Structure 1
Amino acid sequence: MRNWVLAVALVALPGQAAAQSAKSCLTPPEAEALVTYALPSAVRAVTTKCSPLLPATTALAQSGPVIAARYQVDADKAWPVARVAFDKMSGLDLTKTLGEPAARGLIDAAFGAGMAEKVKPGDCSKIDRLVDILQPLPTHNMAMLITTLMELGTGDKQKKPPFKMCAAPNGGN
């Protein structure tokens, strides 16, 4: 039964998220927590997809698992706020429906699969360069950088951000 619920939730998730995100927005702390939580899954997915295509001496091939492990510490701390952000964005309460471990597993798998799907083989060398440049950043700074870049990218109406961020009060921080 639980596997069936997981499958239905996974299938329903993209449509639910799109419908709900049009109605609600994430605050900067919620967005940063969600990105912080997603970082280890994203790094693992990119490392798995790109490492076979890159020389063994590249930053991603050598440091991807280490970076993911470092990000995981902060991702675990960000989980309570990230869960609220995910529920808000998706319109679902997966923790209540599935229980904490299953909800986390489903969200981790969704983030990893989503990232792996978006990465094209020709992008791997560029991603490796970004990993090399950005790997010294602490997790919080990386999350702030990503959410800020997403905010900047919302000016292009052709590209939909993964979630809607609430406008900052008084137009600033």
Structure 2
Amino acid sequence: MRAFSGSLALLLAMAPCAAMAAEPVCITKAEATSLVTYALPQAINGTAKRCAPSLPANAFLRTGAPALASRYAAQKDRYWPKARPAVMKALSAQNGDSSNMMAGLPDETLRQLADVFVEGFVAQRIAPKSCKQLDLAIDLLSPLPPENMAGLIALTLDAAGGADPKLGKVSLCKD
């Protein structure tokens, strides 16, 4: 579960500049939940791409991930309005030029950039040795609707926040 939580915590670093931000960024729990819910399909696809070579043919990430990602993607439009501020907060921490440029992009373009980034970022950051655990965790959680999976991830991140309040340069705001 630790590997699963750590990998999905990467979703909070959704904006490319967030990992390089000069100052930590505070994202509310509601923004984090919306961001995670919005990004779950890309995170699942990225995980499946990274892990497929190291998993058996019958592994969930090789057989069930496309359907799960598709099911979750059907609800993405509903979560973008609350996920967008989290993306913009992470961008604003980098520098004004980057943030202003991204803020001026059409919403659909910003969404496409975020989608491509999340899938690639997750795929690059997953250690192949954690693929078996990730496969099992995603399989076990797959019956949940996206809101519940994202809520569980946000709850895990919040609980872990007491030990390590920052996930890179992005943290959950304190109540």
Q: Same fold (TM over 0.5)?
A: yes
Identify the structure with bigger relative contact order (alpha carbons < 8 Å, sequence gap 6+).
Answer: 2
Please state if 1:19 is matched with 2:20.
Answer: no
State whether residues 47 and 64 of structure 1, in contact with CA within 8 Å, keep that contact through their aligned partners in structure 2: yes
- Determine the C-alpha separation between the residues in 1 that align with 2:65 and 2:58: 12
For residue 126 of structure 1, the aligned residue among 133, 139, 163 is 133
For the pair shown, the structure with the greater C-alpha radius of gyration is 1
> What residue ranges of structure 2 are gaps of 5+ in the alignment?
1-14, 93-98
Task: Give CA-to-partner distance per residue, 1:62-86, whole Å, 9 cap, x none.
Answer: 1111111111122221011111221
- Determine the C-alpha separation between the residues in 2 that align with 1:117 and 1:12: 16
- Determine the C-alpha separation between the residues in 1 that align with 2:131 and 2:167: 21
More strand by share: 2
State whether residues 166 and 172 of structure 2, in contact with CA within 8 Å, keep that contact through their aligned partners in structure 1: no
CA RMSD across the alignment? 2.1
Aligned to 1:81: 82
Q: Per the alignment, do residues 11 and 84 of structure 1 end up closer, same or farther by CA in structure 2, a change over 3 Å counting? A: closer
- Determine the C-alpha separation between the residues in 2 that align with 1:143 and 1:12: 23
What is the TM-score with the length of structure 1 in the denominator? 0.79
Please state if 1:166 is matched with 2:173.
Answer: yes
Bigger shift: 89-98 or 64-73?
A: 89-98
